[in-house]
């Protein structure tokens, strides 16, 4: 490793790669330092290996998908947004396609292609990439950044890299096997930054009751409403998956941020699934009456087959405590009412959430109050920048988190390069 650079970037994930590329394009001498054997391990497994690169929704729609303070990202998105990453990838030979919900994927459906293209791009701009190189700390002398201390993970040798600027792009704490073990929070804290409460987000939810027969069931077109301390809260429509620990799937992930925060604050959280969102109580009742009129001798189990996926039938029978062999014409008004209520409000109490190994992103991180949104520079220490998931902003599923990494990475690299080139 050479010993002097304009900018040292810690972490070669999507944020670090974009920061490196944008800085090098302006002529800065950049080193990108990655502790794993290969850069962008997490990027390679995104979108179940297909990589949901970004989302083509408008800026205003984007901001609705981001927490806790979407406005912080306005300038970052303004400097590099969804069309920019699509265009950049195209120049590298990676074509993209748009799927349901405006989600963008590489046409090859290979996340690997996106990672390799970005690495090739930064190398073509003369960025030096060092793998197996773990940053141990940032070197600061009398409030001036001097560089970073790096340990070779193979030899154990420790070296100093001098640089005028440092960009911390170490990601969050989720999926630690990919290298994102939260090291950057320690560096930020040592520089004087506040770290907002870290917790797993976009994560599966453990429930009080797990109905064995439902494990593996995947329900599309259902609606889930959260009830927090008995009060109706937000609602999502889409797909839910029943697991051995509770609930997962796109709509549960989207609700998980609020569920995690509510559980952490000792609130009671219930998830109410509406299994027939297109039908109101009256329509379901009319349908049941019609089924009964058509075949009054059929039993309750057969009626349920008409209304539910087979994996849910035993669970319904258990919850309603009805005899499955009873003929439907013996169903009393109360039984019918209970059945309709259960179809419209299948309620399960959330008790916990899955851990860092399974969470898609980290909520919390370096406080945005201490980062300049126009540059991504620290407001506490000059020439220190942040990019990507380490910052206290996170998005929903749909390509928003990678776009946050690309946009903040681009802006941080660009700003750091301008700072350095202006000074020299
Ligand atoms: C399974 C899964 C699927 C996902 N799918 C999608 C998707 O399809 N679309 C989407 O938008 N988002 C997706 N995400 C989220 C997205 O991958 C992350 O938000 C994004 O990777 C964050 O980018 P980053 O560059 O900030 O951090 P990371 O990608 O975490 O990269 C940080 C890098 O820093 C390195 N590093 C850490 N500490 C050090 C150190 N001390 N020294 C040197 N290097 C260090 C790490 O090894 C790592 O390579 C997914 C996440 C997961 C876990």
Q: Is 33 in the pocket of ligand 1 (CB under 6 A)?
A: yes
Supply the pLDDT for residue 379.
98
Of 318, 333, 354, the last residue of a domain is 354
How close is the Cα of 409 to the center of ligand 1, in Å? 12
Q: Is the pTM of this model over 0.75?
A: yes
Q: Which domain holds residue 371?
A: 4-201+362-423
Check if the beta carbon of residue 44 is closer than 8 Å to that of residue 60.
no
Phi, psi of 411 (to 5 degrees): -65, -40
CATH number of the domain to which 58 belongs: 3.50.50.60
Q: Is 256 in the pocket of ligand 1 (CB under 6 A)?
A: no
How close is the Cα of 171 to the center of ligand 1, in Å? 5
**Residue of the nearest CA to atom 3 in ligand 1?**
46
Supply the pLDDT for residue 296.
77
Q: Is 407 in the pocket of ligand 1 (CB under 6 A)?
A: no
Q: Is 77 in the pocket of ligand 1 (CB under 6 A)?
A: no
How close is the Cα of 365 to the center of ligand 1, in Å? 14
Q: What's the rounded Cα separation, in Å, for the pair 153 and 166?
A: 20
Whether 284 and 371 share a structural domain? no
Supply the pLDDT for residue 129.
98
Whether 242 and 276 share a structural domain? yes
Identify the bridge partners of residue 288 per DSSP, sorted by sequence position: none
Whether 149 and 123 share a structural domain? yes
Q: Is 51 left (phi over 0), alpha (psi -120 to 50) or beta?
A: left
How close is the Cα of 264 to the center of ligand 1, in Å? 25
Atom in ligand 1 nearest the alpha carbon of residue 395 = 11
Whether 371 and 333 share a structural domain? no
Q: What's the rounded Cα separation, in Å, for the pair 86 and 104?
A: 8
Atom in ligand 1 nearest the alpha carbon of residue 388 = 26
Of 354, 375, 407, the last residue of a domain is 354
Whether 231 and 336 share a structural domain? yes
Whether 214 and 342 share a structural domain? yes
How close is the Cα of 325 to the center of ligand 1, in Å? 53
How close is the Cα of 394 to the center of ligand 1, in Å? 12
Pocket test for ligand 1, best of 9, 17, 18, 46 (most atoms within 8 A of CB): 46
Q: What is the pLDDT along the chain (424 residues), one digit of tens a residue?
A: 567 999 999 999 999 999 999 999 999 999 999 999 999 999 999 999 999 999 999 999 999 999 999 999 999 999 999 999 999 999 999 999 999 999 999 999 999 999 999 999 999 999 999 999 999 999 999 999 999 999 999 999 999 999 999 999 999 999 999 999 999 999 999 999 999 999 999 999 999 999 999 999 999 999 999 999 999 999 999 999 999 999 999 999 999 999 999 999 999 999 999 999 999 999 999 999 898 888 878 899 999 998 999 999 999 999 999 999 988 888 889 999 999 999 999 999 999 999 999 999 999 999 999 999 999 999 999 999 999 999 999 999 999 999 999 999 999 999 999 999 985 5
- Give the chain's end-to-end CA distance (angstroms, integer): 22
Whether 383 and 338 share a structural domain? no
Q: Which residue has the tokens 């995104």?
A: 46
Atom in ligand 1 nearest the alpha carbon of residue 54 = 11
**Residue of the nearest CA to atom 41 in ligand 1?**
135
Whether 261 and 370 share a structural domain? no
Supply the pLDDT for residue 224.
98
Whether 333 and 209 share a structural domain? yes
At what angle are helices 333-344 and 281-294 packed, to 10 degrees? 130
Q: How many domains does the chain have?
A: 2
Q: Is 412 in the pocket of ligand 1 (CB under 6 A)?
A: no
Of 306, 335, 354, the last residue of a domain is 354
How close is the Cα of 5 to the center of ligand 1, in Å? 24
Whether 221 and 196 share a structural domain? no
Burial of 123 (0-12, 13-18, 19+ CB in 10 A): middle
Whether 336 and 268 share a structural domain? yes
Q: Which residues contact 47 (CB under 8 A, 6 or more apart)?
A: 105, 111
Whether 226 and 372 share a structural domain? no
């Amino acid at each position: 490793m050479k010993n002097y650079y304009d900018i040292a970037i810690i972490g070669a994930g999507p944020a670090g790669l974009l920061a490196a590329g944008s800085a090098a394009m302006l002529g800065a001498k950049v080193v990108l330092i990655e502790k794993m054997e290969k850069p962008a391990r997490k990027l390679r497994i995104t979108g179940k290996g297909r990589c949901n690169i970004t989302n083509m929704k408008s800026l205003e729609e984007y901001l609705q998908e981001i927490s806790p303070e979407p406005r912080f990202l306005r300038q970052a998105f303004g400097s590099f947004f969804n069309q920019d990453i699509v265009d950049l990838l195209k120049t590298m030979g990676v074509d993209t396609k748009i799927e349901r919900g405006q989600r963008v994927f590489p046409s090859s459906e290979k996340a690997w292609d996106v990672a390799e293209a970005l690495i090739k791009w930064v190398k073509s701009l003369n960025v030096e990439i060092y793998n197996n190189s773990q940053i141990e700390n940032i070197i600061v002398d009398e409030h001036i950044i001097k560089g970073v201390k790096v340990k070779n993970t193979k030899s154990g040798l420790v070296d100093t890299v001098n640089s005028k600027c440092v960009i911390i792009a170490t990601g969050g704490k989720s999926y630690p096997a990919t290298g994102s073990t939260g090291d950057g929070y320690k560096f930020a804290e040592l520089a004087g930054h506040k770290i907002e409460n870290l917790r797993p987000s976009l994560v599966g939810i453990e429930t009080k009751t797990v109905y064995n027969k439902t494990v593996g069931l995947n329900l599309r077109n259902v609606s889930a409403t959260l009830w927090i301390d008995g009060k109706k809260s937000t609602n999502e429509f889409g797909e839910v998956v029943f697991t051995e620990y509770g609930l997962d799937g796109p709509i549960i992930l989207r609700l998980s941020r609020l569920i995690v925060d509510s559980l952490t604050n000792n609130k009671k959280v219930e998830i109410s699934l509406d299994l027939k969102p297109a039908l109101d109580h009256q329509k379901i009742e009319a349908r049941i009456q019609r089924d009964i009129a058509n075949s009054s001798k059929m039993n309750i189990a057969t009626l349920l087959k008409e209304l539910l996926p087979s994996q849910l039938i035993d669970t319904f029978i258990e919850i309603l405590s009805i005899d499955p062999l009873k003929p439907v014409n013996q169903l009393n008004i109360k039984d019918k009412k209970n059945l309709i209520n259960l179809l419209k409000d299948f309620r399960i109490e959330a008790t916990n959430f899955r851990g860092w190994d399974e969470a898609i992103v980290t909520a919390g991180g370096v406080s945005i109050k201490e980062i300049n949104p126009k540059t991504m520079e620290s407001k506490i220490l000059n020439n220190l920048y942040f990019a990507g998931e380490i910052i206290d902003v996170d998005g929903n599923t749909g390509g928003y988190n990678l776009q946050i990494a690309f946009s903040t990475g681009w802006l941080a690299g660009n700003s750091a390069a301008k700072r350095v080139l202006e000074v020299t």
